[in-house]
Amino acid sequence: MKRIGIITSGGDCGGLNAVIKGAARMAASMGIEVVIIPNGYAGLYNLVDTETLVALTEERLVKIDATRAGSEAGHSRVKIKKIDAPDKYDRIKKGLEKFGIEGLVISGGDDTGSVMVDLGEQGIDCVHVPKTMDLDLQCYSVGGDSAINRVSQFMSDLRTTGMSHNRVLVLEVFGRYAGHTAFRGGIGADADCILLPEIPVNFDVVYAHMKEKFFSRVKTSDVKAGTYAIVAAEGMKDAKGEIIADESAGKDAFGHVKLAGAGKYVRKRLEGFMKEDPDVTGFMKDTGMLVTGVYEKPEIREVTPGHLVRSGHSYAYDVNFGMSAGAAGVALLAEGIKGVTVVKASGGEIFYQSTAEVIKQRHVDLAEVALFERLGICFGRKPEEYKPQIKAWTGKIERYM
Amino acid sequence: MKRIGIITSGGDCGGLNAVIKGAARMAASMGIEVVIIPNGYAGLYNLVDTETLVALTEERLVKIDATRAGSEAGHSRVKIKKIDAPDKYDRIKKGLEKFGIEGLVISGGDDTGSVMVDLGEQGIDCVHVPKTMDLDLQCYSVGGDSAINRVSQFMSDLRTTGMSHNRVLVLEVFGRYAGHTAFRGGIGADADCILLPEIPVNFDVVYAHMKEKFFSRVKTSDVKAGTYAIVAAEGMKDAKGEIIADESAGKDAFGHVKLAGAGKYVRKRLEGFMKEDPDVTGFMKDTGMLVTGVYEKPEIREVTPGHLVRSGHSYAYDVNFGMSAGAAGVALLAEGIKGVTVVKASGGEIFYQSTAEVIKQRHVDLAEVALFERLGICFGRKPEEYKPQIKAWTGKIERYM
Amino acid sequence: MKRIGIITSGGDCGGLNAVIKGAARMAASMGIEVVIIPNGYAGLYNLVDTETLVALTEERLVKIDATRAGSEAGHSRVKIKKIDAPDKYDRIKKGLEKFGIEGLVISGGDDTGSVMVDLGEQGIDCVHVPKTMDLDLQCYSVGGDSAINRVSQFMSDLRTTGMSHNRVLVLEVFGRYAGHTAFRGGIGADADCILLPEIPVNFDVVYAHMKEKFFSRVKTSDVKAGTYAIVAAEGMKDAKGEIIADESAGKDAFGHVKLAGAGKYVRKRLEGFMKEDPDVTGFMKDTGMLVTGVYEKPEIREVTPGHLVRSGHSYAYDVNFGMSAGAAGVALLAEGIKGVTVVKASGGEIFYQSTAEVIKQRHVDLAEVALFERLGICFGRKPEEYKPQIKAWTGKIERYM
Amino acid sequence: MKRIGIITSGGDCGGLNAVIKGAARMAASMGIEVVIIPNGYAGLYNLVDTETLVALTEERLVKIDATRAGSEAGHSRVKIKKIDAPDKYDRIKKGLEKFGIEGLVISGGDDTGSVMVDLGEQGIDCVHVPKTMDLDLQCYSVGGDSAINRVSQFMSDLRTTGMSHNRVLVLEVFGRYAGHTAFRGGIGADADCILLPEIPVNFDVVYAHMKEKFFSRVKTSDVKAGTYAIVAAEGMKDAKGEIIADESAGKDAFGHVKLAGAGKYVRKRLEGFMKEDPDVTGFMKDTGMLVTGVYEKPEIREVTPGHLVRSGHSYAYDVNFGMSAGAAGVALLAEGIKGVTVVKASGGEIFYQSTAEVIKQRHVDLAEVALFERLGICFGRKPEEYKPQIKAWTGKIERYM
């Protein structure tokens, strides 16, 4: 093997530059050159018309900052299956031949992975390095820890606004089908309520929880200050189990309906409850906030940080995981193992699994939700009983880094 | 003078806890007690029904973190003039008497200041400490530097998303009538285009600038990566000079129309231009991004960080200014000077000005805009000539801290 | 069980407030009260003379910020074994009886854990929640991820100084016996060289690596700029395998020799090599830096952030782990399981292991070091061969959060 | 004028990349090319032997991140006066001629400025853009705000360690002759004690202040937790007015004695007082911390973040000031105004002053210190009376941005 191409695909997030550096350096140690195929699958499709590619020499690598989020290789949301051209795989193969690229390391999420499976079926050797800030693959995916940290930071920052105005704050974050980022980001900020795609929301429960926590906080505070923090995944569902979609917004390049307004929806629902609740006026009066006709109900504000959650800084876990996973991807390719996903590289071992298996969607473990419900956090349902199995651990402990 | 009340009013922002600590400590040094009147003017109005107030002793002050944004005294958007009660000033005075409060230090912006003028006319002694992250008062106001720093940080972070996807990014920030935060925050992030309420936007100019900068960046990049960063104030105006209002959203407690969607509006306008521009396909083709039917135009994304801009951390300038301005407010009250705004306290001097003067709205200096236009930044108009007057400075230099 | 005491012990770090909140909330859900025993084992020893303890009611908990590092319960480095008083355990038991405390949740590292074993032998029921930013226990310990993130951030920040001055930078961080924090923090910042207690340093190797990387970076840069980043654990050893101790500094309360100066030592060694190396002058000349008599060698600077590494912010992983581990600690106590360490609580399971087992020191896995050596990072030894075992993963994937 | 060279000199700090970008873009608008002269005065001296220089085209500028600290132009601490070569100015002139460089924009502090004066006397046209994180020039200098913000952040972060261990924390920061960074950074973190080169330290005063504040905080805390935060400038002086120098460490390239150990010195002095103070045992006993023979005195820790204070991120003020000051430097050169320092460029005006005037050292205003002493902060002397002159402000208000 002389030359490998690297592709990053789908949404940007933390850790990808580490994947790139890990892959390039491992390859260099084997005398293999790594080139960047820019702009995801778009770049792959257009390779045949491309004039030059950047080889990741030491000199070029030094300009890539592994601690900076996003990808030097670029992204696009192009899905090969969507391309309506009968010769598309031939076109891709010609492009790879043109540059003598014998294998691909492709970092992306479930859509990316499914494209990779297609490519493999066409005889193109690929290894998949898992990436998605949604964390909904079966194995860890680079970008998750960075997104979680940013969600936690934003929710924590917003408390100063919440405490100052006695407001309920709703932070809407990415998470279409799986709520890992909202869940772990919310716990990381000690949020009061976390709404996930996995649990259709019963707003009676949410309102009752909010009322109890929020009202008592303000009342017992010596300066009459309190807040209530909600993290809502964009893909949260209403009581009927339907997502809060913005039907006017069309679909994206992968054919997904555009979600919009989980935060706004939560705000409006809770405002509706407050409007109907006769206790609210008493609460406002007891806490010295009531000014009839001017200020009669606590305010609710939603904030949607959007791409801020995936941008900026790559946190340490993602750089560590990314660098070793990128390296492992090259090691697998060099061994002739293809069509698989790097699960992890640790100690003297590299683990992989078939990509088709790994990209099966993983949801938040509801048993773990029950643990945090036990700790008083609301997940939009009546808390389920938490009955842990208590076990002595034997053997080596699986652990973080 | 035995007891002073402290009120923070309007929107929360950085530096207010420093104002509170500065005021309380200066008062303590004079044997005066400072009490918190919670929740802004709502708390003032309801003082007569309040049971106890928190005195800012050393022991209580230690629990207030000056580096944390927001206000321990709380906020509300209640405007006394809006209260429809003929005895409202009597009610306020009774509240102040009940607690033996002889004067007020009130920190807020223009609305807050105008309420303060009303109170003064009613015989209530007040001093105004300027606060607004919009920076649209005649003097510096606490909160501005923190907001600017956060806008810069967010815009800078978003570049990683922009570079990864070759996207144009629009960051929408607060700024209804004056664009200081967008202006300085944008420059602080080295943004390419800054849209302010002061300059009705000519989108022909914006699009032409974007096209030139963005296209050439992607083309000349070895990995075909580039972005274009726009900061838009929520109160930006279209070519007719009209704000981008969300008429369905009603008005706030101060009677302001709710603004919404400057970022979205900018995106839609630029998308419209791209759709019409025959050069776009060529650009996509030349840079290897074009996939007909799937990916034909660069993407534009808007992000609205909302309250994240005013929350979280108080930057050092705001803590320094806030602490000395809060202290100066008490010093003025103690000297019997009232109805005024603290302009600054530096060296051995305290400066004040009548509040009515200070709260006159200050806009971005268009001559300064011309300087940055000269440096290639687009402000949504044809660049005006920058003809600086060059002068030798004589005497002491006015300077930052 | 009616009342549990919570103790945090040893060094402060991220995630402890989450442990406290998790424990208190789990206890509350069982009708058990949690009280803070302040200041670690010092507070435990003096309990009998203490007048009141703080119960962690909802109202009190709201004042504890889980995202803030350090511990509301306080710390001390007091080790019960060191107390020279024959009745010390009786004294402790009397203190616990006085307040009706029936069990203890104790969060700390290996020293803390060994004290806990002592207490258990004296009939005091304890559960151990693992905590140490050194990450040298057998299971994950709260504080590790936060420390690693901060090390990475600091090393990454210092690059701007390194690049500006063409300096080699050495960041010295905690890590007396095990180098996990230096290792993972270093990788997280894409450091060039990482020196660990596990590998006695061969400075010939380090200098050769530095010379190759650093010189070529500066030479190939168009603006003649480059740097070389070293992370050194305080407990790194010289070629003879001896730690770099500051013998004049005495011992700490746990009897440990005070380490000092790994960073300084590395600097001096490398300066020594540069002084002897005839190529340095040529390098300085070729890159336009040489000014004879004034600037003849590249500069090396060491930075020791010390407690900054453990202070400030708790990152999301630590809050998640801490909250569930604290809760699990209470669940174990309530089940009558004692003298054990919480390994993890995830899904519907809680795992524990005997504390004596868990606190056995864990070192950096040298096979994993070999992986990163393969990627060109220097660990102060001649790189060892990296021969990974490549395996298909079967069954459920163990994963991060 | 066809070509200008840009030099950054002295220590690195925030805002310099903005200076470079501002200068390059202003020049471009005039048809002038700006080239980087790398590595400060070393690069200038060696220009004649340099093969190529980087021109700051748009394409090159896009790779410079204005929000990142440090300088793309590089630094060195070479002082032309120290070069022992009779033909040194001829050499420099030949280098400038070789590349057709007709003028220089030089950004640096007082040492840099004095070199610039020398160059001017030799007929080399230069304009000075003020830069020093020490803020000890007569006008604002780029880097100051960033350094202040970082000092504040670090001191604020360290509180979590202080509160957890009931420790006194000493943060030692840069500031050899003037204490602006320690002063403003300390206030920005609400520090308890700030020690400046301007005020020889009376440790009796410091200890008495520490004892009063710290002891009462711990005692009145419900969890017996408190801290006391000291920021000490490296150039602080003892009671005799002598700096705390490390005489063994030699001198730097500018001939300055190396300072070392202000933090350590403060710690040792305060430890000495505590050892002698019979009240300490009572305090330890009253707060439940005393364990005879093991833990008898509160701990003091010093932290020296060193280059972390000047690295990493450029805060918004520095980017704004830097970009306009860099631009103004070119505007002055183009007008034939030389040997001067840019004081500021705001609105439609550019102000300058002779460099010889501007680089006169400016110290912390002791009248302003008295204001903060009034607020209870200790500056290592008996507080002086604060008798502010209270004045109505007339005319336009000088303000921040």
Nearest CA in chain C to D85: C292
Average of per-residue pLDDT values in chain B: 94
pLDDT value at B248 more than 60? no
d(CA C47, nearest CA chain A) in Å: 28
Angstrom distance (rounded) from CA B137 to CA C119: 63
How many beta-carbon contacts under 8 Å exist across B and D? 246
Distance to chain C for A352, nearest Cα, Å: 5
pLDDT value for C244: 79
Active-site position among C110, C111, C125, C134: C134
Q: Which chain B residues touch D363 with a CB distance below 8 Å?
A: none
C237 DSSP β-pair partners: C243
Give residue-wise pLDDT tens across range D302-348.
999 999 999 999 999 999 999 999 999 999 999 999 999 999 998 89
Chain D contacts of C293, Cβ < 8 Å? 82-84
Query: Which region holds residue C166: left if phi is over 0, alpha if psi is between -120 and 50, else beta?
Result: left
Average pLDDT over residues B92-112: 96
Q: What is the mean pLDDT of chain A?
A: 94
> Could you tell me which residue, A2 or A117, shows the higher pLDDT?
A2
Measure in Å the smallest separation between the Cα of A71 and chain B Cα atoms.
Answer: 5
Quick check: C104 and C126 in contact, CB under 8 A?
yes
Residue C289 with chain D: CB contacts under 8 Å: 39, 42-43, 46, 76
pLDDT at B309 over 60: yes
Residue B213: Cβ-neighbour burial (10 angstroms; 0-12, 13-18, 19+): buried
Report the DSSP pairing between strands D168-173 and D228-233: parallel
DSSP three-state, residue B108: strand
C193-195 vs D103-108, strand pairing mode: unpaired
pLDDT tens, residue by residue, C157-215: 999 999 999 999 999 999 999 999 999 999 999 999 999 999 999 999 999 999 999 99
B15/D298 Cα distance (integer angstroms): 32
The chains found to touch B (3+ Cβ pairs under 8 angstroms) are A, D
Question: Which of B89, B290, B295, B319 is best to mutate for the A interface (most A CBs within 10 A)?
Answer: B295
**pLDDT surpasses 60 at A153:** yes
- Whether residues A140 and C399 touch (CB distance < 8 A) is answered with yes
Going by the DSSP 8-state scheme, the letter that residue B307 receives in this structure is G
Residue with tokens 């009676």: A204
Name the pTM for this structure: 0.96
Whether C248 shows a pLDDT value over 70: the answer reads: no
Distances (CA, A) of C96 to A12, A242, B95, C35: 54, 53, 48, 11
Contacts with A, B 16-35, CB within 8 Å: 16
CA distance B71 to chain A (A): 5
From chain A, the residues in CB contact with C376 under 8 A are: 25, 28-29, 58
- B8 and chain A in contact, CB less than 8 A: yes
Question: Measured between CB atoms, does D361 come within 8 Å of chain B?
Answer: no
Contact B368 D348 (CB under 8 A): yes
pLDDT the model gives residue B250: 60
Candidates B110, B134, B136, B318; catalytic one:
B134
pLDDT digits (tens, 9 = 90+) for C83-121: 999 999 999 999 999 999 999 999 999 888 888 888 999
Q: Residue D66 to residues A133, D29, D133: CA-CA distances in angstroms?
A: 28, 19, 17
Q: Which of D8, D74, D161 sits opposite C224 (nearest CB)?
A: D74
β-pair type (D340-346, D193-195): unpaired
Of C315, C391, C397, Cβ closest to residue A138? C397
Which of residues 276 through 295 in chain B touch A, CB cutoff 8 A?
285, 287-291, 293-295
Q: Is residue B222 over pLDDT 70? A: yes
Check if A376 contacts C (Cβ < 8 Å).
yes
- B-facing residues of D in 181-220 (CB < 8 A) are 184-185, 187-190, 216-217, 220
Interchain pair D139, B390: CB under 8 A: no
Contact B83 A291 (CB under 8 A): yes
CA dist., res. C318 & res. C146, Å (int) = 7
Nearest CB neighbour to A160, from listed B42, B54, B68: B68
Whether residue B74 and residue A165 make contact (CB cut-off 8 A), yes or no, is yes
Q: pLDDT band at residue A7, thresholds of 50, 70 and 90? A: very high
Catalytic residues of A: 134
**Which pLDDT does position A251 carry in this prediction?**
65
Contacts of B315 (CB under 8 A, 6+ apart): B14, B145, B146, B149, D149, D152, D188, D315
Q: Which residues on D lie below 8 Å from C12 (Cβ)?
A: 160-161, 164-165
If residue C343 lies in a helix (H) or strand (E), which one and from where to where? strand C340-346
What is the mean pLDDT of the segment spanning C288-307? 97
Calculate what percentage of chain C has a pLDDT beyond 70: 95
SS3 call for C396: coil
Average pLDDT over residues D5-18: 96
What mean pLDDT, rounded, does chain D reach? 94
Amino acid in the structure at residue C358: V
Read off the pLDDT of residues D104-139 as tens digits, 9 standing for 90 and up. Answer: 999 999 888 888 888 999 999 999 999 999 999 999
Assess whether pLDDT exceeds 90 at residue B150: yes
User: With contact defined as beta carbons under 8 Å apart, do B144 and B325 qualify?
Assistant: no
The helix/strand/coil state of D223 is: coil
Nearest CA in chain D to C156: D312
Confirm or reject contact between C223 and chain A (CB < 8 A): no
Query: Do the Cβ atoms of C176 and C110 come closer than 8 Å?
Result: no
The model's confidence at residue D77, banded by pLDDT at 50, 70 and 90, is: confident
Task: Supply the ipTM of this predicted assembly.
Answer: 0.95
pLDDT (0 to 100) of residue A239: 86
Chain B residue numbers touching D148 (CB-CB < 8 A): 316-317, 401
Band (D259; pLDDT cuts 50, 70, 90): low
Contacts of A221 (CB under 8 A, 6+ apart): none
pLDDT band at residue A396 using 50, 70 and 90 as cut-offs: confident
Contacts of C326 in chain A (CB under 8 A): none
pLDDT digits (tens, 9 = 90+) for B253-278: 556 666 668 999 999 999 999 999 99
Residue matched to tokens 């030479």: C219
The predicted pLDDT at position A284 comes to: 98
* Chain B residues with CB-CB distance to A225 below 8 A: 38-39, 72, 74
Relative to beta strand A126-130, strand A103-108 is parallel
- Half-sphere exposure of residue A324: CA atoms within 13 angstroms, side-chain side: 30
3-state secondary structure of B44: helix
Whether D260 shows a pLDDT value over 80: the answer reads: no
A83 contacts B288? CB cut-off 8 A: no
Q: Which of D46, D164, D295 sits opposite C70 (nearest CB)?
A: D164
Residues of chain A in contact with residue B288, where contact means CB-CB under 8 angstroms, are: 38-39, 42-43, 46-47, 49-50
SS (H, E, C) B308-357: HHCCCECCHHHHHHHHHHHHHHHHHHHCCCCCEEEEEEECCEEEEEEHHH
Q: Quick one: which H or E segment has residue C18? A: helix C16-29
Across A149-158, A261-270, B109-118, least confident range: B109-118
Would you call D220 and B59 a contact, using CB atoms and an 8 Å cutoff?
yes
The pLDDT score that the predictor gives to residue D394 is 84
Closest of A303, A347, A62 to residue A159, by C-alpha: A303
- Establish if A145 touches chain C: CB-CB under 8 angstroms: yes
List of E strands, B203-330: 228-233, 300-303
Q: Which positions in chain D touch B327 (Cβ < 8 Å)?
A: 371, 374-375
Number of H helices, E strands in chain B: 13, 12
**8 A C-beta contact, residue A279 and residue A147:** no
Find residues 55-84 of chain C whose CB sits inside 8 Å of chain A: 58-59, 62, 65-67
Output the DSSP codes for C181-234.
HHHHHHHHTT-SEEE-TTS---HHHHHHHHHHHHHHHHHHSTT----EEEEEET
Q: What's the rounded Cα separation, in Å, for the pair B358 and B109? A: 10
Please report the DSSP string for A315-357 in residue order.
Answer: -HHHHHHHHHHHHHHHHHHHTT--SEEEEEEETTEEEEEEHHH
Q: Which range (A70-79, A185-194, D237-246) has the least confidence?
A: D237-246
Active site residues of D: 134
User: What is the predicted pLDDT for the residue at B73?
Assistant: 97
pLDDT of residue B394: 84
Q: Which residue in the set C158, C287, C312 is minimally distant from D311, CB to CB?
A: C158
- Cβ–Cβ gap D307/C154 under 8 Å: no
Q: D56 vs A55, B370, D25, D27, CA distance in Å?
A: 25, 22, 8, 10
Helix (H, G, I), strand (E, B) or coil at A374: helix
